[in-house]
Amino acid sequence: MSSQYPSGSFVRPPGTDPTRRRPRLSFELLGCAWNGHVLVGTDAATVSQDDALVVRDLDGDRRLHRCLRCDAWLMLPTPAEPARQRPADRDEIVLPTRGRPLKSRYVLRLIALTRVFNVLVLLLVLGGAIAVLVNQSTLRDDLLANAASLQIVMGGQAVGQLQGLLSGGAGPLWFIAAGLLVLVLLEGTEGVGLWRATRWGEYLSFVLTTLLLVPEALELTSSTSPGTIIGMVVNVGVVLYLLFSKRLFGVRGGAATVAAEREHDISWAALRRHLPDAAAPTRV
Ligand SMILES: [Zn+2]
């Protein structure tokens, strides 16, 4: 079969590589499993040779439709009640994200999910701070009444700090609550930007994560708990990924190279590269 398709530029569709020692995740297949295939001309009365890159008539009753994301060819019956005469023109079709941009989108969404987790934790802490603010005088009285037993559980220093915080008026607590709210808004905005794979989201994430590395590095000087070290390693990885893989600040060609990569993987030319020469239509 391979001798029938000798094209040197042919790129195998996802999931069709020969048996590999290490399995490779095909993000296109993942996307189609979740969102369904992206097909053209399923509602068209007629298809022609001009559409052969994406849909082909078999025998009048059946057609082969090519998924624009995963390149699978799917056999479907010719529509009994077509909604249009011809498949959509190419300039009407929005090509789905695929290739490296799709892989990148999944990585960014993974980072975005960690930001969602951060927002949830921050909201819990913010709720706690507001609850303390609302019940400050009651808590101060309770703390004074139970100071001796709390010192056994929490230690004298922690109880002393708590007493200082509750006795110092509402100012410091409001300051902490306001700071937490700003963090929630920043982390939330970062998560939305990353989830939607926007350039501003990548820059915002780079700046915030880099700033976060400062207190984490300071914490490492006093604590080497596994949680601190893992958090530091993950955030360093995020910063390096954004800087080098997403080519921020002009690194490795910057935005122009990102755009060129996108054009290389998400274009009609890319769809053409995933067809063997013998199967390729004359019109690209
Ligand atoms: Zn598909």
Q: What are the residue ranges spanned by the domains of the chain?
A: 2-96, 110-264
Q: Model pTM?
A: 0.79
Q: With H, G, I as helix, E, B as strand and everything else as coil, classify residue 200.
A: helix
Encode 187-196: b = buried (16+ Cβ within 10 Å), e = exposed.
bbbbbebbbe
Centre of ligand 1 from the C-alpha of residue 149, in Å: 64
Pairing mode of beta strands 62-66, 55-57: antiparallel
Centre of ligand 1 from the C-alpha of residue 115, in Å: 29
Centre of ligand 1 from the C-alpha of residue 151, in Å: 62
Instruction: For residues 205 and 214, give the distance between their C-alpha atoms in angstroms, rounded to a whole number.
Output: 15
Mean pLDDT, to the nearest integer, of 92-98? 95
Centre of ligand 1 from the C-alpha of residue 70, in Å: 4
Per-residue pLDDT tens digits for 237-279: 999 999 999 999 999 999 999 999 999 999 999 998 888 766 7
Pairing mode of beta strands 55-57, 73-77: unpaired
What would the two tokens of residue 156 be?
């004298």
Centre of ligand 1 from the C-alpha of residue 8, in Å: 24
Q: pLDDT value at position 12?
A: 79
Place of tokens 């057609």: 63
Has residue 1 got a pLDDT over 60? no
Q: Using a CB cutoff of 5 Å, list residues around ligand 1, an ion.
A: 32, 37, 67, 69-70
Centre of ligand 1 from the C-alpha of residue 273, in Å: 16
DSSP E strands: which ranges in the chain?
55-57, 62-66, 73-77
Centre of ligand 1 from the C-alpha of residue 239, in Å: 32
Per-residue pLDDT tens digits for 2-52: 444 444 567 777 888 776 677 778 899 999 999 999 999 999 999 999 999
- List Cβ neighbours of 251 (8 Å cut-off, separation of 6 or more): 243, 244
Maximum Cα–Cα distance across the chain:
88
What would the two tokens of residue 17 be?
């590589």
